[in-house]
Amino acid sequence: MRSQNFALIENGPAIVGEDAALEIFRRVCRTRFFEEGLVRAVKDGFVTSPVYLSTGQESVAAALSVALPRPIIFAQHRCHGVYLSYGGDPVRLRDELMGLPTGTSGGRAGSNCVQCHDDGVTMHGHHGLIGENVPLAVGYALASGDTTLAIFGDGAAEEDYVLSSLGFAATHRLPVLFVCEDNNLSILTTVETRRSWKVSNVASSFGIGSEDLSDDPWTVYLKARELAKRTPALMNIYTCRANWHVGVGTDGPVEWDRFAEVKAALDGAGLKDKALGIEDAERLSMEKVWEQGQLRRLSGK
């Protein structure tokens, strides 16, 4: 059963090392504080298009991005965390969410369709049809031989074309790491209401190495590095979406607060002061991105 400690590797920060641990934390903070600013911008009316928040799930993309620095990325609709963790410019993402021509897709695509083709990052934009990115990732890996990262949710894992893509990747032994961000929710319908099977078992039956684990970032980092050596492989990562499927509202407390746990783990590893410094720096940096005067000027409101 899903839990915050499922398959947890103890003493994660110590195992991954200080530099990697703190870099993962910096990327977690970037997404968290970017989205805190975004929530305010939505409430203030500066962002009016639908938004799909990564908050609560930030540790997955943060850990993957440190573990696998330069894959070809096919992210899902909930992709702010992937974009930011892999080095996407937060200003361009903000502009995309505001519908500005300086956005990641010229302000045409919005929150669930973020792409990045800058500074060595290749992240192909999603179009909002869940799981559509998985056969695309498989086709890309087939055609290019490049290491490819396909990220999708537990709902997308049920799409027939996702399952057949897993099978195709297994047949051709393609260099794809499949990552299912399993937040247990399709809108608000839980996994156990929808299906009786686990995607990790399906992947295994295809001959794909797979792991179920929680979103403890150190565990994600270590498992991703291990699985990336024997692709195709799949990680089903239990995580918690903090906000609505779409929008900035919430339905009460999350099952577990990974952000708090990450900070506690860094504290336990003797990295409290450095972590606080990173947290403050990222908060300040993202506050500048969402500074009110700037938003008024950009939006004309």
Partner 1 sequence: MGTRTVAETIREITRAHLENGGMLLGESISAVGWVNNTVPDVKNIVELPMTDVAGAGIAAGAALAGRRPVFVVRFQDFLILNGSPLIFYAAKLKDLHGRSAPVFVRAIAAEGLGPVHSGVLHSLFMHFPGFKVASPMTPREYEEVWRIYMENDDPFICSEHRASYANKDELADETVDGADITIYSISSTRFEAKKALKLLQNEGVRCNLVNIVWLKPFALSSRLIEPLKDSKIGLVVDPGHEIAGASESIAYTLMINTGYPVKALGVEDRTKCLVPPLQNKAPDAFRIYEAAKGLLACTGRVFT
117 lies in the site for partner 1, by CB under 8 A: yes
For residue 136, the minimal CB distance to partner 1 (Å) is: 4
Instruction: Work out the end-to-end distance of the chain between its first and last CA atoms, rounded to an integer number of angstroms.
Output: 48
Q: Is 167 an interacting residue with respect to partner 1 (CB under 8 A)?
A: yes
CA distance 2 to 214: 8
User: Using the rule CB under 8 A, is 301 a contact of partner 1?
Assistant: no
Nearer to partner 1, 146 or 257 (CB): 146
Nearest to residue 58, comparing CAs of 34, 41, 88? 34
Of 3, 5, 69, 127, the one binding partner 1 (CB under 8 A) is: 127
Cβ of residue 269: shortest distance to partner 1, in angstroms? 40
Q: Is 173 near partner 1 (CB under 8 A)?
A: no
CA-CA-CA-CA dihedral for 296, 51, 264, 21, to nearest 10: -90
107 binds partner 1 (CB under 8 A): no
Identified binder of partner 1 from the candidate list 17, 69, 106, 249, rule CB under 8 A: 106
119 lies in the binding site for partner 1 (CB under 8 A): no
* Cis amide bond preceding 232, omega within 30: yes
Is residue 142 a contact point for partner 1 (CB under 8 A)? yes
Span of 1-9, 112-120, 233-241, 267-275 interacting with partner 1 by CB under 8 A? 112-120
d(C-alpha 232, C-alpha 213), whole Å: 17
**Residue 9 lies near partner 1 (rule: CB under 8 A):** no
Q: Which of 63, 121, 134, 289 binds partner 1 (CB under 8 A)?
A: 134
In whole angstroms, give the CA distance from residue 121 to residue 137.
15
Residue 181 phi, psi dihedral angles, 5° rounding: -85, 95
Under the binding rule (CB under 8 A), the answer on residue 129 touching partner 1 is yes
The whole-angstrom separation of Cα 63 and Cα 151 is 13
Q: Give the one residue of 2, 124, 245, 263 binding partner 1; rule: CB under 8 A.
A: 124
Q: Smallest Cα–Cα separation from 79: which of 24, 23, 135, 35?
A: 35
Q: Does 136 bind partner 1 (CB under 8 A)?
A: yes
Count of residues that bind partner 1 according to CB under 8 A: 32
Helices (DSSP H) in the chain: which residue ranges? 12-16, 18-43, 58-67, 80-85, 90-97, 133-144, 160-172, 191-194, 199-206, 217-227, 258-268, 272-289, 292-299
> Coil, strand or helix: which one is 125?
coil
The answer to whether 266 contacts partner 1 (rule: CB under 8 A) is: no
Binder of partner 1 out of 18, 36, 89, 146 (CB under 8 A): 146
Name the site residues for partner 1 (rule: CB under 8 A): 105-106, 108-109, 113, 115, 117, 124-125, 127, 129, 132, 134-144, 146, 160-162, 164-165, 167-168, 171
